[in-house]
């Protein structure tokens, strides 16, 4: 970490600013750090000219107060460090060419629109994200096919991951810990005039994603998300979006879900973000009256190679191949999920949330749910695994 003063090889000139007892540093020319150089700012920085730092480090530090980065021109930084427990306000975009080290304090931007943000380019990344060091507001990317935005609110990291089949020219994302039905920040209310059909919509939080090309998003939930209030089964959770033209909530799918009651992740189908004002967690009513629930017998599974009880065989799956199976451990965490199940579970996980995909599960009692979609039935029971 850099300390005390501006150091390294700065080419150009800077002015010290004094405004109502608050000092600052301003750049009104063309500033560039030598390769391998470093600069540390312990006060507000106003950038009104070109500022570049090829293969060098720029740090922003303040121990007992917040720090503001502003100006008419966006600074370009190769490596950046952010260490200000009271937060760093970003009032102009900042280009990150290599690494952003989030040490202490949030990098804060406006949430009203994506107008000031850290921009992560093709080869850039970040480290140190946590509940106390993240982007509190908008973050943006350029020319990436995959990226996890380290965004959240003032107390929680609520990341959002995107995946695309081709590089995304530009995308931005922000998190809002407020009800989408009445957003005070945006001054908008997202309530479908004709109701939501069989969709349930989160009343706790939402994300905003801006991108002009199709992609998939992965959202997460925690104890404050109230995922159990949206769906009784993980397979019924959905990513949902507010369609601008329809002025209604739309199901954006569930292509992968992992986790349990209090923590987990869900991935959407491919969709075009700019068509939707906001997105959030939702659920279908499939776990309610539409599906008849049937309790099945309990099973004993001993995949030890002796040819007996090697896999979980359910007669219902052979009679109804359009099905989905979910298996949970005693902590309520999803360890196995498969569509069109025909008897392949042998005690190995196929999710990454617990022991890891492809790893052997420990012995013990597990809860299984087999959903027969065409019959509108759910069959459930327990199995004892003894590898």
State pTM to two decimals: 0.83
Task: Give the pLDDT of residue 206.
Answer: 98
Which helix (DSSP H) or strand (DSSP E) does residue 243 occupy?
Answer: strand 237-243
Query: Residue 361 has what DSSP assignment?
Result: P
Task: Give the pLDDT of residue 285.
Answer: 65
Task: Give the pLDDT of residue 4.
Answer: 35
Residue 18 confidence class, pLDDT cut points 50, 70, 90: very low
Q: What percent of the chain has pLDDT over 90?
A: 62
Sign of CA dihedral 367, 373, 375, 377: positive
Range 152-172 average pLDDT:
96
SS3 of residue 180 by DSSP: helix
Range 324-345 average pLDDT:
90
Range 80-105 average pLDDT:
96
Task: Tell me the C-alpha distance between 174 and 142, whole Å.
Answer: 16
Structure tokens at 242: 């507010």
pLDDT in tens, 348-380: 999 877 677 778 899 999 999 988 888 888 888
Range 244-249 average pLDDT:
95
Task: Give the pLDDT of residue 275.
Answer: 97
Task: Give the pLDDT of residue 9.
Answer: 44
Range 237-265 average pLDDT:
93
Task: Tell me the C-alpha distance between 122 and 124, whole Å.
Answer: 6
User: Of 18, 12, 22, 5, whose CA–CA distance to 49 is shortest?
Assistant: 12
pLDDT at residue 5 tops 80: no
pLDDT at residue 246 tops 60: yes
pLDDT at residue 13 tops 70: no
User: Of 318, 320, 312, 319, whose CA–CA distance to 367 is shortest?
Assistant: 312
Task: Give the pLDDT of residue 115.
Answer: 84
Residue 307 confidence class, pLDDT cut points 50, 70, 90: confident
Do residues 68 and 91 lie in contact, with contact meaning Cβ atoms separated by under 8 Å? yes
Do residues 220 and 265 lie in contact, with contact meaning Cβ atoms separated by under 8 Å? yes
pLDDT in tens, 283-298: 986 544 466 777 777 8
Say if residue 16 is exposed, middle or buried (CB neighbours under 10 Å; 0-12, 13-18, 19+): exposed
User: Of 180, 160, 107, whose CA–CA distance to 273 is shortest?
Assistant: 160
Q: Pick 194 or 58 by higher pLDDT.
A: 58
pLDDT in tens, 177-215: 999 999 999 999 999 887 788 899 999 999 999 999 999
Task: Give the pLDDT of residue 87.
Answer: 96
Q: Following DSSP, what letter does each residue of 56-86 receive, concatenated?
A: -EEEEE-SSS-EEEE-SS--EEEEEEEE-TT
Q: Which domains does the chain have, with CATH numbers?
A: 10-285 (no CATH), 292-385 (2.60.40)
Task: Give the pLDDT of residue 290.
Answer: 62
pLDDT at residue 121 tops 70: yes
């Amino acid at each position: 970490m850099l300390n005390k003063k501006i150091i390294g090889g700065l080419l150009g000139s800077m002015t010290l600013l004094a405004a109502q007892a608050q000092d600052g540093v301003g750049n009104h020319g063309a500033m560039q750090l030598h390769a391998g150089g470093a600069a540390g700012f312990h006060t507000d920085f106003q950038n009104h000219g070109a500022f570049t730092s090829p293969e060098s480090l720029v740090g922003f530090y303040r121990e007992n107060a917040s720090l503001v980065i502003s100006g008419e021109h966006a600074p370009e930084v190769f490596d950046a460090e952010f260490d200000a427990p009271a937060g760093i306000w970003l009032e102009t975009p900042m280009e990150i060419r290599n690494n952003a080290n989030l040490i202490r304090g949030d990098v804060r931007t406006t949430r009203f629109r994506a107008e000031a943000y850290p921009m992560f380019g093709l080869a850039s990344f970040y480290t140190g994200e946590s509940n106390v060091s993240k982007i509190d507001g908008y973050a943006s990317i350029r020319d990436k096919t995959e990226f996890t935005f380290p965004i959240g609110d003032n107390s929680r990291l609520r990341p959002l991951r995107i995946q695309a089949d081709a590089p995304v020219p530009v995308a931005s994302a922000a998190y809002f810990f407020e009800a989408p039905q009445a957003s005070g920040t945006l001054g908008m209310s997202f309530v479908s005039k004709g109701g939501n059909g069989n969709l349930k919509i989160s009343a706790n939080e939402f994300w905003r994603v801006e991108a002009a090309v199709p992609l998939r998003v992965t959202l997460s939930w925690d104890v404050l998300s109230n995922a159990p209030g949206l769906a009784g089964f993980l397979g019924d959770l959905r990513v949902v979006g507010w369609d601008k033209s329809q002025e209604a909530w739309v199901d954006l799918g569930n292509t992968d879900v992992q986790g349990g009651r209090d923590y987990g992740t869900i991935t959407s189908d491919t969709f075009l973000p700019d068509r939707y004002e906001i997105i959030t967690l939702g659920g279908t009513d499939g776990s309610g009256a539409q599906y008849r629930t049937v309790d099945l017998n309990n099973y004993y599974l001993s995949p030890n190679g002796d040819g007996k009880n090697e896999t979980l065989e359910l007669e219902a799956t052979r009679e109804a191949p359009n099905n989905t199976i979910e298996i949970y451990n005693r902590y309520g965490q999803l360890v196995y999920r498969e569509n069109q199940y025909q008897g392949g579970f042998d005690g190995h996980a196929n999710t990454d949330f617990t022991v890891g995909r492809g790893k052997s599960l420990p012995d013990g009692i597990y809860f299984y749910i087999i959903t027969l979609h065409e019959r509108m039935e759910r069959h459930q029971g327990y199995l004892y695994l003894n590898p």
